[in-house]
């Protein structure tokens, strides 16, 4: 055996070649003790375009995690290489970036995917290349079924919608009108809210599906008011659309007139709350994280986050999702004792239990999807600013679409 | 019944917002015949000016509007003098490419200066509370938009149709050489008119933020709607744009209310029919 090791890269080219030749000649004689080595985690996020702030939130989460937990797991140094997939509508780019990370950057694990089409486009590639793909945002239920190497640490929209439906049925809401944006996630939200709400004895008495980028909601809200429901359930895709929707519910005085307004938590995302202002008053929402959660892991997370981004910075739930994505990778590396092949990593991920800033989470071994607490929150004023304050916890929620 | 009136009032207010938002485009694209797809960028500029003044300096909302308009107008004049006047004689395709490029650049600058997130614009209470007008309840902001739109429409129609300034602009657009021949200083006139168009874009942007939100993608998000207003109204006709915008707002609201399943597509259907049967828009008789 040549004394030089090709992995360390310190020896000259010739000795490396000699070493490689020797290793090839005697494959069983490899060193039994694990060596110092590095592992590349390829990160695919939207870092330019309309959704750049989502990608930035995710990136923050990765940085905060490595700030707290360092870059080493045992003798493996975890290094991230980040690529920009420019947001939804660029699934082909997401696939190409994934391929580039695997082939050129030698990424052994991929982390990221903010949008469903981007995750779906990379699915067959991950299967073929045998690389685990940790999803940290894309929320359509089916994604994890498209590759055995996918695992999700974020959430699925049905988790939020169904939790809200169950809660509404239990809390005196008998009839509901629904207003959802007319595209995949909106229909998902409508379906799963309705299923859970009607299973609990409630009745959906009508609904409207609105254009995805529509900004004028008063005709739809007028119809909703005339239907005289106890509650109004809504989903919209975030950003300016959700701000416009929420402001117009305030204009129409939906909450003030006694109709319970319920939305999935992403509609009233923390980074939209300042633009919504008092339109948030009394709005009930369901989400898997909020800054106010009181647990040790969240304290540690917030402290490091604010050290990095300033004392008044507010993390998004997306920051936590990326943080947990890294936590899952570190956890898996500890479990496998340094083995980084896809099968070992995936076996360690299945059934993994972690203490997240959002509370205890688990990766369902059967579906590789997340099981987590969903918090029911109400919009109210706290310390001079509007916030969503949790008042009820639904524990251990699985993705209802796979249950 | 009260539901119908309420919807109609809201729809007309929304139409009025579209009108105020599209006046600037009606001036630059319609009157000056410059294919100004950067209109949204000027509107965005006015929007950010209003947001910064309101949130950063505590300037009252009503005062932010003229400042946003003047500031955007000034930027418009400077840009016109530096680059845009060189684009007037170019073919339409080049004008399109130039103004789209300008709008992309403006979006990128906004992203650097203000970040990609939504800008909060919280209107004063007297604009967000609902006012009971007897037959209908409507928010102060929508009443404000309707009144403001009526005043602006009247003033502009008068300016372009009944003043010497308006006559000069129309003359210069129709026949530049002849206009210069009779002593009209066309270069200066165009700079002022473009500045006016930009100022109205800025004003429309500042008014729209409270309703439509504001982020760096703003220049393109509403371009289609604005082009619809100008196309249906008939390029160059302020009155035509006014009728088109209010009609679109009201029709859109009515169809969304009565047939929500298809209501959202009706206005696009109207656009197609208009373009097939009245390719020059409502005010076609006026087009040269």
Can you give the residue ranges of every domain in chain B? 2-286
Q: pLDDT category, B278, cuts 50, 70, 90?
A: confident
H or E element that contains B49: helix B39-51
| CATH of residue A307 | 3.40.50.2300
From A211, A223, A275, residue closest to B120, measured CB to CB? A275
CB A131 within 8 A of CB A110: yes
**3 state DSSP class of B122:** coil
Structure tokens at A385: 């600013």
Burial class (CB in 10 A: 0-12, 13-18, 19+), A70: exposed
Is residue B1 pLDDT above 60, yes or no?
no
Question: Would you tell me how many other CB atoms lie within 10 Å of the CB of residue A68?
Answer: 17
Tell me whether 0.85 is exceeded by the ipTM.
no
Give domain status of residue A7, yes or no: no
Q: Does residue A20 lie in a domain region? A: no
Q: Is the pLDDT of residue A318 over 60?
A: yes
What pLDDT is recorded for position A29? Answer: 44
Contact B252 A216 (CB under 8 A): yes
d(CA A231, CA A193): 12
Residue A6 has pLDDT above 70, yes or no: no
- Residue B88, C-beta contacts closer than 8 angstroms, at least 6 positions apart: B32, B34, B190
Residue A323 is assigned to a structural domain of this protein: yes
Same domain flag for A299 and A362: yes
Residues A258 and A379 in one domain: yes
d(CA B69, CA B64): 9
Answer whether residue A55 shows pLDDT above 60.
yes
Check residue A81 and give its pLDDT: 95
Please choose, from the candidates B227, B225, B220, B204, the residue with its C-alpha nearest in 3D space to the C-alpha of residue B47. B204
pLDDT recorded at residue A28: 47
Same domain for A255 and A391, yes or no, is yes
**Which member of A222, A274, A277 has the closest CB to residue B3?**
A222
Q: For the packed helices B92-114 and B39-51, what is the interaxial angle rounded to 10 degrees?
A: 20
B10 has a chain A CB within 8 A of its CB = yes
Is A356 or B261 the better-scoring residue by pLDDT?
Answer: A356
Distance CA A219, CA A251 (A): 13
Whether the per-residue pLDDT at B286 is higher than 50: the answer is no
On whether residue A2 sits in a domain, the answer given is no
Same-domain pairing of A231 and A314: no
User: How would residue A12 be classed by pLDDT, with cut points 50, 70 and 90?
Assistant: very low
**Which residue of A84, A216, A273, A313 to mutate against B (max B Cβ within 10 Å)?**
A216
Using alpha carbons, select from B7, B103, B131, B261 the residue that is nearest to residue A216. B7
Give which of A60, A61, A120, A109 is closest to A85, Cα–Cα.
A120
Verify that A145 and A126 share a domain, yes or no.
yes
Same domain, A386 and A248: yes
Report A:158-217 residues touching B (Cβ under 8 A): 208-211, 213-216
Summarize pLDDT for B169-208 with one digit per residue, the tens. 888 888 888 888 988 898 899 999 999 999 999 999 999 8
Give the pLDDT band (50/70/90) at residue A30. Answer: very low
* Residues with Cβ within 8 Å of residue A384, at least 6 apart in sequence: none
Nearest CA in chain B to A221: B257
Chain B touched by A52 (CB under 8 Å): yes
Assign A34 a pLDDT band (cuts: 50, 70, 90): low
H or E element in which residue A23 lies: helix A13-25
In the DSSP assignment, the letter for residue B28 is I
Cβ contacts of B178 within 8 Å, gap of 6 or more: B171
The separation between CA B253 and the C-alpha centre of its own chain, rounded to angstroms, equals 20
Cβ-proximal residues to A82 (8 Å cutoff; 6+ apart), any chain: A43, A44, A45, A47, A59
The proportion of chain B whose per-residue pLDDT surpasses 90, expressed as a percent, equals 37
pLDDT at A328 over 90: yes
pLDDT band at A357 (very low <50, low <70, confident <90, very high): very high
Average pLDDT, chain B: 87
As a dihedral over the C-alpha atoms of residue B114, residue A283, residue A156, residue A185, rounded to 10 degrees, the angle is: -80
Percent of residues in chain B assigned helix, strand, coil, to nearest 5: 75, 0, 20
Q: Is B134 left (phi over 0), alpha (psi -120 to 50) or beta?
A: left
Q: β-strands A385-397, A370-382: how paired?
A: antiparallel
pLDDT of residue A78: 95
Cβ contact B58:B228 at 8 Å: no
Min Cα distance B210 → chain A (Å) is 9
Asked if the structure places residue A107 within a domain, the reply is yes
Using CA atoms, how far apart are residues B23 and B194, in angstroms rounded to an integer?
A: 12
Specify the number of domains making up chain A: 2
Same domain, A194 and A246: yes
Residue of A nearest to B210 (CA): A244
Band of residue A31 on the pLDDT scale cut at 50, 70, 90: very low
Among A31-35, A138-142, B165-169, the range scoring the smallest mean pLDDT is A31-35
Q: How many Cβ contacts (< 8 angstroms) between chains A and B?
A: 86
pLDDT at B140 over 60: yes
> What pLDDT digit, counting tens, does each position of A172-206 carry?
999 999 999 988 888 989 999 999 999 999 999 99
**pLDDT by residue (tens digit) across A62-81?**
999 999 999 999 889 999 99
Residue with tokens 């899952």: A328
Q: How confident is the model over B5-60, as pLDDT tens digits? A: 888 888 999 999 999 888 888 888 878 888 889 999 999 999 999 999 998 898 99
Q: Using pLDDT thresholds of 50, 70 and 90, give the confidence band for residue A131.
A: very high
Residue A179 lies in a domain: yes
pLDDT tens figures, A138-166: 988 889 999 999 999 999 999 999 999 99
- By percentage, how much of chain A surpasses pLDDT 90? 64
User: Does A56 map to a domain?
Assistant: yes
Q: Do A218 and B254 touch (CB under 8 A)?
A: no
The H or E element that residue A179 is part of is strand A175-181
pLDDT for A1: 37
pLDDT value, residue B154: 92
Instruction: Output the average pLDDT for chain A.
Output: 88
Are A170 and A260 contained in the same domain?
Answer: yes
Contact B257 A213 (CB under 8 A): no
Q: Which of A208-212, B114-118, B193-197 has the highest mean pLDDT?
A: B193-197
CA distance A64 to chain B (A): 21
For residue A57, the SS3 value is helix
Residues of A in contact with B257 (CB under 8 A): 219-220, 222-223
pLDDT in tens, B209-254: 888 888 888 898 888 888 889 888 887 788 888 999 999 999 988 8
Q: Which residue of A has its CA nearest to B15?
A: A216
Instruction: Judge whether A207 lies within some domain.
Output: yes
Q: How far apart are CA A302 and CA A67, in angstroms?
A: 12
Same domain as A162, residue A279: yes
Q: Same domain for A317 and A344? A: yes
CATH 1.10.20, domain B2-286, yes or no: no
**Measured between CB atoms, does A268 come within 8 Å of chain B?**
no
**Whether A73 and A123 share a structural domain:** yes
Mean local confidence (pLDDT), A224-234: 94
Cβ atoms of A288 and A358 within 8 Å: the answer is: yes
Q: Which residues contact B141 (CB under 8 A, 6 or more apart)?
A: B13, B123, B127, B128, B210, B211
Residue span of the structural domain in which A99 resides: 37-155+294-368
Q: Are residues A258 and A313 in the same domain?
A: no
């Amino acid at each position: 055996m040549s004394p030089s090791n090709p992995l360390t890269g310190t020896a000259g080219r010739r000795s490396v070649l000699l070493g490689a030749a020797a290793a090839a000649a005697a494959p069983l004689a490899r060193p039994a003790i694990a060596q110092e080595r590095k592992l590349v985690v390829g990160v695919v996020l939207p870092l330019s375009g309309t959704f750049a702030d989502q990608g930035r939130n995710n990136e923050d989460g990765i940085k905060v995690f490595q700030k707290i937990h360092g870059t080493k797991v045992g003798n493996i140094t975890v290094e991230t290489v980040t690529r920009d997939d420019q947001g939804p509508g660029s699934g082909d780019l997401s696939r190409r970036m994934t391929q580039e990370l695997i082939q050129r950057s030698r990424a052994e694990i991929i982390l990221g995917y903010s949008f469903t089409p981007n995750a779906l486009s990379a699915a067959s590639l991950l299967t073929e290349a045998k690389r685990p793909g940790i999803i940290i945002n894309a929320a359509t239920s089916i994604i994890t079924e498209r590759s055995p190497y996918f695992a999700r640490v974020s959430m699925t929209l049905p988790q939020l919608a169904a939790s809200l439906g169950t809660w509404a049925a239990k809390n005196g809401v008998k009839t509901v009108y629904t207003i959802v944006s007319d595209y995949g996630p909106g229909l998902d939200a409508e379906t799963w809210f309705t299923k859970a709400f009607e299973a609990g004895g409630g009745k959906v008495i009508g609904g409207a599906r609105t254009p995805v980028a529509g900004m004028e909601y008063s005709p739809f809200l007028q119809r909703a008011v005339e239907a005289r429901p106890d509650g109004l359930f809504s989903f919209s895709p975030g950003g300016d659309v959700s701000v416009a929707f929420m402001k117009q519910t305030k204009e129409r005085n939906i909450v003030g007139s006694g109709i319970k307004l319920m939305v999935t938590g992403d509609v009233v995302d923390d980074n939209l709350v300042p633009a919504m202002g008092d339109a948030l008053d009394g709005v009930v929402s369901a989400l898997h994280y909020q800054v106010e959660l009181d647990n040790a892991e969240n304290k540690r997370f917030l402290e490091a986050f604010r050290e990095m981004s300033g004392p008044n910075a507010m993390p998004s739930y997306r920051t936590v999702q990326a943080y947990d994505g890294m936590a899952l990778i570190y956890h898996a590396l500890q479990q496998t004792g340094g083995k980084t092949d896809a099968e070992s990593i995936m076996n360690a991920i299945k059934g993994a239990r972690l203490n997240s800033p959002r509370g205890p989470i688990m990766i369902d071994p059967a579906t590789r999807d997340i099981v987590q607490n969903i918090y029911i929150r109400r919009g109210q004023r706290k310390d001079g600013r509007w916030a969503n304050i949790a008042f009820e916890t639904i524990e251990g929620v699985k993705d209802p679409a796979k249950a | 019944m009260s539901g119908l009136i309420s919807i109609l009032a809201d729809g007309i207010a929304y139409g009025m917002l579209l009108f105020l938002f599209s006046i600037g485009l009606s001036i630059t694209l319609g009157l000056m015949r410059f294919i100004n797809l950067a209109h949204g960028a000027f509107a965005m500029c006015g929007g950010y000016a209003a947001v910064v003044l309101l949130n950063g300096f505590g300037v009252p909302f009503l005062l932010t509007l003229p400042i946003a308009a003047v500031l955007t107008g000034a930027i418009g004049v400077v840009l016109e003098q530096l680059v845009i006047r060189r684009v007037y004689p170019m073919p339409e395709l080049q004008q399109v490419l130039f103004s789209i490029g300008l709008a992309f650049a403006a979006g990128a600058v906004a992203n650097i200066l203000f970040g990609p997130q939504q800008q909060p614009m919280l209107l004063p209470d007297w604009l967000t509370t609902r006012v009971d007008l007897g037959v209908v309840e409507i928010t102060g902001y929508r009443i404000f938009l309707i009144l403001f739109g009526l005043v602006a429409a009247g003033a502009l129609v008068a300016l372009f149709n009944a003043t010497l300034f308006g006559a000069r602009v129309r003359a210069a657009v129709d026949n530049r050489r002849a206009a210069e021949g009779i002593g009209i200083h066309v270069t200066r006139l165009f700079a002022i008119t473009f500045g006016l168009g930009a100022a109205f874009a800025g004003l429309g942007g500042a008014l729209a933020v409270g309703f439509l939100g504001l982020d760096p993608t703003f220049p393109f998000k509403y371009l289609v709607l604005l082009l619809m207003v100008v196309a249906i109204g008939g390029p160059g006709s302020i009155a035509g744009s006014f009728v088109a915008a209010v009609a679109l707002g009201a029709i859109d609201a009515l169809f969304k209310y009565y047939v929500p399943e298809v209501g959202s597509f009706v206005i696009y259907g109207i656009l197609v029919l208009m373009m097939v049967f009245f390719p020059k828009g409502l005010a076609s008789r006026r087009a040269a």
